[in-house]
A and B are shown apart, each in its own frame.
Chain A
């Protein structure tokens, strides 16, 4: 699309908005985009694009994978245009292009890595046609916004440009079959000890074949619908991965990957299976774009999962583990619960995952609690579960339905009080689960837990 006078006016007005916001020390990650779109609704179609566009979408893991790509690419001499510090909806994407463009609407970057909100794909892909689209996975997410995974799949199917090459998770039967006519490459993790023969979670959105409604036969299930399955009636089933993790060695901290070129070894960035999927997704994207395995492996040696998502602090033989677990996202919370149950030692769990915004003006729809696998916390080695916030009474009911004895559940109004209630004499590891919007509460709890481990047991006034 050509650049029009209207486009230039929108560009300059948006850049002025950015400048004013920065003078006021405010974030310029969304509003300038809104201004540009107001003045020129097809702004994204008219602004210059990089030669190569990598888009990343999916329910879980997209931010982590984008961060990895953004951190690895400079080791290949590429600084990609990215929305790391911007929004992943249309206004944020526009702001990303705006901030990087000249007053003439030109870009200097040759490559972009864009995190795209699934629901916003329909507005963004109308103007931005990614060369590669990574779909990390598709699950149930916020009921209020995303309804169900079929709704999100339908949006993506209608939005994905026909020539875009999909990079999909072979172990995700929903995401891997999106846009069936598009070219695609799949990645996956081979069957591992600890995988199940049948679905174990409360939620499994792939029980029957979407074509003929015959019950699917799972070769293995890892969690929810993640695994490999086939329809015994019509041939529908999991894709064969081109890039497959065949071994994960937690002692040597390495992931062994089978690719068309042979066996490759990469550093294991985290202990959670989702960390492995995220690493594998990033490696697959980079390999498909054309970067060599050796260079990627070398760069991965320097990378780490950002502390805002996962942080472990050891002190006096005890551990505090901070786990980002998006509220209203039952799968993300269930992954955290699964990680906790697989960790050795006596444990306490602090839940700070109630909805921050609903708590301000309304009252949270807590239905999602009943799709999350709180049953995983029903173990003798989890001796305390501490819940704070206005929804604490609802969490208590949910935990009771999971079979957890009432005496292990401690409810309190103030977040910081949970840190004071942890019985450090009885637990080795305290897990703090928090939402992106409750980071400040979580950090205060973490700091207080550390203070107590350092010997300061004086209670902080709520």
Chain B
């Protein structure tokens, strides 16, 4: 089992690297390949069982696009091959068409997702999301914290149909993208720890059907408590 983490020295904001630590606890025998920004990614020439990239600063995001641009076709091939992939936070924007920066300039993304992004560094959006991910019975819970809003066409390929919170933007009820077995989402933080059913699906999709969830009773307990809060109309989502 090979899991490649892209640019972990930078793409590690908001506790997202905990998702990989949790997978390591679930898959103690797995090999984790950590690829830095100056290296050719492992997935370019090899099969991986999971490709992961977490959120990063806005400057690093531009650098990540430059690094990955030559391999956009390879990522597209992996989407079509149904290779499991997870992009969290603003890593999703790397895969979109373009990002309009605060200064008005625009940069191209990899063009793999039907979305465009606009930065607003003076207004940070913080909120909760409760939504439904089709392959999983349980609702998904998560958090957003971002300077950007996105527009795009994701109604038929969204990661989540949002029940509470926002989707790609405040008017959208579709969050992120789910294509092949690639999840690209604005949700940040330990989403695999927060959502045991999602992790179960991911492990099964990776072929690790026998791998037990680490600390299963504890993560299920925390999930049940959080879900009750997220469903409570008294709880503010923004």
* Chain A residues in the interface with B (C-beta under 8 A): 140, 143-145, 147-148, 150-151, 154, 202-203, 207-208, 213-215, 330, 361-363, 365-371, 390, 393-394, 396-397, 400-401, 406
Contacts and interface: CB of A to CB of B under 8 A. Distances in A.
A396 B219 CA distance: 9
17 contacts: A143-B145, A144-B145, A148-B57, A150-B57, A151-B57, A202-B17, A361-B236, A362-B235, A367-B15, A367-B143, A367-B189, A369-B15, A371-B14, A390-B225, A390-B229, A393-B222, A401-B25
B9 A393 contact: no
B133 interface: no
A361 B235 contact: yes
A203 B54 CA distance: 14
Contacts of A369: 15
A147 B145 contact: yes
Question: What is the interface of chain A mostly: helix, strand, loop, or mixed?
Answer: helix
Interface residues of B, number: 43
Q: Output the residue of A144, A147, A367, A394 with the most chain B CB within 10 A.
A: A367
Contacts of A394: 222, 226
Contacts of B97: none
Contacts, number: 104
B218 A396 contact: yes
Contacts of B237: 362
Contacts of B128: 362-363, 365
A370 B57 contact: no
Contacts of A208: 9-10, 36-37
Q: Output the residue of B18, B63, B218 with the most chain A CB within 10 A.
A: B218
B15 A368 contact: yes
A369 B16 CA distance: 11
Contacts of A145: 124
B218 A400 contact: yes
A370 B13 CA distance: 10
B188 interface: yes
Given A213-B37, A367-B14, A370-B16, 6 more contacts: A154-B121, A208-B36, A363-B226, A369-B15, A401-B22, A401-B214
Contact of B18 (A214, A362, A390, A401): A401
A150 B189 contact: no
A393 B218 contact: yes
Q: Output the residue of A154, A203, A215, A363 with the most chain B CB within 10 A.
A: A363
Interface in B133-156: 143, 145, 147
B6 to A, nearest CB: 14
A368 B25 CA distance: 19
Interface in B25-68: 25, 36-38, 57-59, 63
A393 B225 contact: yes
Contact of B147 (A147, A214, A362, A370): A147
A215 B36 contact: yes
B82 interface: no
Given A150-B57, A151-B57, A401-B21, A371 B15 contact: yes
B131 interface: no
B193 interface: yes
B145 A370 contact: no
B209 interface: no
Nearest to A367: B189
Nearest to B63: A213
A368 to B, nearest CB: 6
Contacts of A362: 128, 235-237
B221 interface: yes
Contacts of B218: 393, 396-397, 400, 406
A367 to B, nearest CB: 3
Given A144-B126, A397-B215, A367 B190 contact: yes
Interface in B62-82: 63
Contact of A365 (B58, B145, B147): B145
B230 interface: yes
Closest 5 CB pairs of A and B: A367-B189, A370-B15, A370-B18, A367-B15, A393-B222
Interface in B188-238: 188-190, 193, 214-215, 218-219, 221-222, 225-226, 229-230, 235-237
Contacts of B25: 401
Contacts of B145: 143-144, 147, 365, 367
A363 B236 CA distance: 8
A148 B145 CA distance: 11
Nearest to B126: A144
A406 B215 CA distance: 10
A390 B13 CA distance: 25
A314 B181 CA distance: 58
B188 A367 contact: yes
A207 B57 CA distance: 14
Interface string B156-191: 000000000000000000000000000000001110
B189 A365 contact: yes
A150 B221 contact: no
Nearest to A149: B57
A371 B16 CA distance: 9
Nearest to B13: A148
Contacts of A150: 57-59
Nearest to B143: A365
Contacts of A393: 218, 221-222, 225
Contacts of B36: 208, 215
Nearest to B8: A207
Contacts of B10: 207-208
A218 to B, nearest CB: 13
Nearest to B38: A213
A214 B193 CA distance: 33
A396 B18 contact: no
Contacts of A214: 38
Contacts of A368: 14-15
B14 A143 contact: yes
Contacts of A202: 17
Contact of A367 (B16, B124, B229): B16
Contacts of B9: 207-208, 215
Contacts of A366: 189-190
